[in-house]
Amino acid sequence: MSLVSASAGISQFESPAAEYKALKSLSLDDLIVGERKSSTYFARAQGDSMTEVGIYDGDLLVIDRSSTPHHGDVVVATHEGLFVVKLLDLHHRRLISANDKYAPVPLNSTSLVEGVVVQSIRCHRPLNP
């Protein structure tokens, strides 16, 4: 798999399409999901509780159900019947927001970790509904 680097600056340059002929195709599915196809799903982040770990409202989350959740992982869990994205604190059995204005949520018998957030994708334009 080959990647083409691109500068964010503006300058005169040859058409990038000239290099594409020599490159193999790049599949975002292979790059983002890889071998985890059957256990991976996507969700859209809502709210500002995870901004300190770089997850913002509208970001696309890549969640792997087959990954074993570890202390400190960003996870999708159910809490009181709702899906939440939080940091997993196994030492104190709670879910923590990455924004200090939200209190930790204790894990209880109805809480369930649904998967580990393995990647997030920043959307610079809103996704189609």
CA count, 13 A, side-chain hemisphere, 51: 8
Model pLDDT, residue 29:
77
Model pLDDT, residue 76:
96
Give the span between the Cα atoms of 112 and 52, in whole angstroms: 23
Establish whether 21 is a catalytic residue.
Answer: no
Residue 69: CB atoms within 10 A of its CB come to 17
Model pLDDT, residue 91:
97
DSSP string covering 85-104, please? EEEEETTTTEEE-SSTTS--
Model pLDDT, residue 4:
46
Catalytic member of 5, 21, 27, 86:
86
Model pLDDT, residue 99:
94
Residue 85, phi then psi, degrees to nearest 5: -110, 120
Establish whether 49 is a catalytic residue.
Answer: yes
All structural domains of the chain with their residue ranges: 34-121
Catalytic member of 15, 24, 38, 49:
49
Model pLDDT, residue 1:
44
For the domain with range 34-121, which CATH number is right: 3.40.50.1000, 2.10.109.10, 2.160.10.10, 3.40.50.2300?
2.10.109.10
Tens of pLDDT along the chain (129 residues) come to 445 444 555 555 566 666 655 556 777 777 777 777 778 899 999 999 999 999 999 999 999 999 999 999 999 999 888 999 999 999 999 999 999 999 999 998 888 999 999 999 998 877 665
